[in-house]
Amino acid sequence: MVKKLSEKQKEQQHLTFVIDKIKTQMTTLKQSIKTTRHEAKALNAHFFDDVKLDYDDYATSMETALSIRQQQQLLAERQNAWQHRAKAWQTLNRLVKKPYFARVDFRDPNEDAPETIYIGLGSFADQNDHFLIYDWRAPISSIYYDGKLGKVSYNAPDGIQTVDMTKKRQFVIESGKIVNMFDTNESIGDQMLVQVLNEHASTQMKTIVATIQREQNKIIRNTKSELLFVQGAAGSGKTSAILQRIAYLLYRYRGNLTSGNVIMFSPNQLFNDYVENVLPEMGEQNMVQMTYWQFVARRVPGLRVQTLFEQFEDPDVDDAVATFKNSLAFFKLTSRYAAHLNQSGVAFKDLYFKEAKKPFLSKSKIHDLYYSFNQNYDLANRMSATKESLITWLNHKIEPETRKAWVSRELESLSQEDLLKLYDRPDQEFESSDKETHFLSRKLVVKALKPINRRINQHQFLNTRLQYLRFLQAVPQMIDLSKWGIDDTSWEADTARVKEGFKARQIKMSDVSPYLYLYDLVTGRRTEWEMRYAFIDEIQDYTPYQLAYLKYNFPRAKFTMLGDLNQAIFTKDQSKTLLNQISTLFDPDKTDVVQLTKSYRSTKPITAFTKQILRQGEKIEAFDRPGPLPGIYACQDEAHERDGVRHLLQRNDAAHLTSAIITKDLASAKRLFADLKQQGVKTTLIGSANQRLVEGDLILPSYLAKGLEFDAVILWETNAATYHRQDETQLMYTIASRAMYRLDLVYTDQLSPLLRLKPKTYEAKTF
């Protein structure tokens, strides 16, 4: 009697069958890659062996050109074949250990037999083009994420299709073996989700396409919105959903969209490193990724832009003047002022050549030229015409400059080697010595005038800093500042501060965006038309001005903005009106707002604790995952507090939990790191956004913890002296919500009044 196989054994047999097919195809591909690579290399080495080289007349030279072109096409074909197969092999290499994570059975009303599909990180078909694995981004795969058993619809290339789903099975596969499997009626079974969520934190974000939730799937597959605004609670999976959205768009529009057409703005460089492996694990190249600071700082090399640390420490970061400068009203005011410059007011500067006191090209001459063009010219056309005229003027200056005394002096002082470099070719001949001298003089002048030519092309005849100061001085005449709670004295003081900053070659973050926008409007700088999708993470710490400036820079892009308005560190309470302000920049009919209220990162006790810190914490739902209550430790003094932290680190290390001690500011982090090091406690200080995350216990300031998660978090010095301002609730919430399994707070003196906690949501402890 043949023993009946269990469901798990049947599935293991199928898995083994698929893996064998993958391995067979990998072997074939490997040999094919080797062959095509060898062919391309041989073609390259003997490129001209099969090319007829003959330049005697037009007909034969044409034949030569065609012969070269044929060889080039053949070489390109071999190289493309090699690269295509290499990419296919990489996909199979990702699939071979974990080919798929789900099975879906369904019946199409237009088909006689039911169908079974398996879903994984990539597609895989056998030699007969029968799909054994479907890419999670394929249209049919969406039924796994969206529907319960029964009737379910999905968007196919031919339109909306409806099928009857009869089974949804999930797998946990490790090294080709089914570790666990279970059937579920839900989009993603809690059993699988708990298993994934119980994994330890690491220095790299993991790809979790197997556990995409229904609401996240709507974000991922949205292709219609010009603005998709995702407001998600801490740990709701918004960042992973966005990275998966990028992977989906690259898959959906392959051939028309590349990773170079997608840009993502993240909170800091630490976060960039944290997510850098997610897209490659899904078989896609990383998109263009930078922080907003990097985006603006690269454009002002002559000025040092205020850093994250300086922003956090800046007492004026949210005063009335800064609030106004960060607003959409100030953005529109910049546009109004720039339009006025078409009639008058552009600031120019002298360009110098050989004489330090006498301008080679005076600002008055440039001014007259700039405003000599027709009134119907806009700023971009006026600037283009000015540059063209200045280059023409410069070319006319070459000949008279050759007769200047400095030219003959420099020619005489040149070494033989430098002199030879001026000739077009070593054996160049001239009719007379005068003509040779004139030729060399002209060459020398053209070379000497190149910096002037470059300055003209780079708009360095504009006095951009003076222009910005003039704009600030004009603001009180353009708008009633009292409506923003600003008096004339405060505005004048801030303008004076900007001027002093320019002298010190520094600029604040609240000034750099309007400074650049004004420059762009005056110069008619070309915007980045090639960007098709722009993603902005941690949106709550962006200002309306910054977002409007990004919209201006990427006019063709569809925007996805995501964040948690409860976690605003830099914009604080201003973030509450952010959505209302930025929604005016987009077509309301093409704007979608999605809310993710369920938090998956933390255990249920931690989520219940952290939501109390907020004034509107009730909007956050906890995922039902057990864990210990957060602990609050009252300490006698700072030495006792440090000893307590050492005890907590030892406890967490014993449980194989990586800990992050998060302080309010950098000074506290540095001091604590030094004190613990003196006591022999091994930790790593993350004091800069340019550092990389490392394994082991960390100490870092609050503003560098954005978007990260840790097994255990210790909040340092949560007393009333450190956290007492009402607008610091978001900061405390951000820190506490980084914890996945354990959360502990230590303090001296009096506990922060911002922690209004129910007694049963934490444990009051002592060391």
Q: What is the mean pLDDT of residues 337-359?
A: 93
Distance CA 623, CA 189 (A): 12
Q: Return phi, psi of residue 102, to 5°.
A: -150, 155
Residue 63: domain span: 7-95
Q: Determine whether 680 is exposed, middle or buried from the number of CB atoms within 10 Å of its CB (0-12, 13-18, 19+).
A: exposed
Same domain, 413 and 311: no
Same domain, 374 and 446: yes
Same domain, 564 and 660: no
Higher pLDDT, 469 or 425: 469
Confidence of residue 48 (pLDDT cuts 50, 70, 90): very low
> Which of 273-277, 446-450, 597-601, 676-680 is the least confident region?
273-277
- Per-residue pLDDT at 55: 46
Helix axes 666-678, 638-654, angle to 10 degrees: 80
Is 252 a member of any domain?
no
Beta strand pairing call for 150-156 and 159-174: antiparallel
Confidence of residue 44 (pLDDT cuts 50, 70, 90): low
Q: Is 572 left (phi over 0), alpha (psi -120 to 50) or beta?
A: left
Residue where a domain stops, chosen among 95, 122, 139: 95
Q: Over 50: is that where the pLDDT of 331 sits?
A: yes
- Per-residue pLDDT at 293: 92
Per-residue model confidence as pLDDT tens digits over 689-738:
777 778 899 999 998 887 788 999 999 999 999 999 887 888 898 899 99
Same domain, 584 and 714: no
Amino acid symbol at 412: E
Is 213 a member of any domain?
no
Q: Determine whether 319 is exposed, middle or buried from the number of CB atoms within 10 Å of its CB (0-12, 13-18, 19+).
A: middle
Same domain, 706 and 723: yes
Distance CA 400, CA 422 (A): 19
> Which of 13-27, 258-272, 496-510 is the least confident region?
258-272
The residue among 74, 75, 55 whose CA lies nearest residue 65 is 55
Per-residue model confidence as pLDDT tens digits over 194-223:
555 555 555 555 555 666 777 888 888 899
Confidence of residue 556 (pLDDT cuts 50, 70, 90): very high
The residues pairing with 538 across neighbouring beta strands, listed in sequence order, are none
Report how many domains make up the chain: 4
Q: What is the mean pLDDT of residues 164-172?
A: 90
Distance CA 567, CA 733 (A): 7
Helix axes 405-413, 433-457, angle to 10 degrees: 110
- Per-residue pLDDT at 51: 45
Distance CA 589, CA 578 (A): 19
- Per-residue pLDDT at 73: 63
For residue 725, the domain's CATH number is: 3.40.50.300
Amino acid symbol at 627: G
- Per-residue pLDDT at 52: 46
Are the C-beta atoms of 661 and 699 separated by less than 8 Å? yes
Is 164 a member of any domain?
no
CB neighbour list of residue 544: distance below 8 Å, 6 or more residues apart: 326, 327, 328, 331, 578, 581, 582
Per DSSP, the three-state class of 429 is: coil
Same domain, 610 and 592: no
Distance CA 604, CA 261 (A): 40
Are the C-beta atoms of 104 and 143 separated by less than 8 Å? yes
Determine what percent of the chain is predicted with pLDDT higher than 70. Answer: 87
Residue where a domain stops, chosen among 457, 484, 508: 457
- Per-residue pLDDT at 673: 96
Q: Over 80: is that where the pLDDT of 40 sits?
A: no
- Per-residue pLDDT at 295: 94
Taking the complete model, does pTM exceed 0.75, yes or no? Answer: yes
Same domain, 372 and 518: no
Distance CA 58, CA 359 (A): 54
The residues pairing with 715 across neighbouring beta strands, listed in sequence order, are 662, 745
Is 443 a member of any domain?
yes
Same domain, 384 and 530: no
- Running DSSP on this structure, what letter comes out for residue 565? G
Cβ neighbours, 10 Å, residue 129: 6
Cβ neighbours, 10 Å, residue 639: 12
The residues pairing with 751 across neighbouring beta strands, listed in sequence order, are 719
Distance CA 562, CA 718 (A): 28
Same domain, 631 and 518: no
Same domain, 608 and 589: no
Q: How far is CA 486 from CA 321, 476, 477, 593, in A?
A: 7, 10, 13, 33
Same domain, 565 and 636: no
Q: Determine whether 52 is exposed, middle or buried from the number of CB atoms within 10 Å of its CB (0-12, 13-18, 19+).
A: exposed
Are the C-beta atoms of 74 and 44 separated by less than 8 Å? no
Mean pLDDT of the chain: 86
Is 435 a member of any domain?
yes
Helix axes 379-402, 363-370, angle to 10 degrees: 130
Distance CA 241, CA 101 (A): 18
- Per-residue pLDDT at 56: 47
Q: Is 538 left (phi over 0), alpha (psi -120 to 50) or beta?
A: left
Which two structure tokens, joined as six digits, stand for 525? 């700088």
Is 586 a member of any domain?
yes
Is 377 a member of any domain?
yes
Is 51 a member of any domain?
yes
Q: Over 80: is that where the pLDDT of 414 sits?
A: yes
State which H helix or E strand residue 755 sits in.
Answer: none
CB neighbour list of residue 109: distance below 8 Å, 6 or more residues apart: 162, 163, 164
Give the full edge-to-edge strand order of the sheet including 631-635: 684-685, 698-701, 659-663, 710-715, 739-748, 631-635, 763-765
Same domain, 476 and 529: yes
Per DSSP, the three-state class of 140 is: helix
Per-residue model confidence as pLDDT tens digits over 416-457:
888 888 888 888 888 898 998 999 999 999 999 999 999 999
- Per-residue pLDDT at 279: 81
The residue among 725, 764, 586 whose CA lies nearest residue 225 is 586
The residues pairing with 104 across neighbouring beta strands, listed in sequence order, are 117, 168
Per-residue model confidence as pLDDT tens digits over 614-636:
876 557 888 888 999 999 999 99
Higher pLDDT, 44 or 512: 512
- Per-residue pLDDT at 627: 93
Distance CA 428, CA 435 (A): 12
Are the C-beta atoms of 715 and 662 separated by less than 8 Å? yes
Amino acid symbol at 99: P
- Half-sphere exposure (Cβ direction) of 463: Cα atoms closer than 13 Å: 18
Distance in Å from the first CA to the final CA of the chain: 66
Residue where a domain stops, chosen among 541, 576, 598: 598
Confidence of residue 232 (pLDDT cuts 50, 70, 90): confident
265-277 residues labelled b (16+ CB within 10 A) or e (exposed): bbbbbbbbbbbee
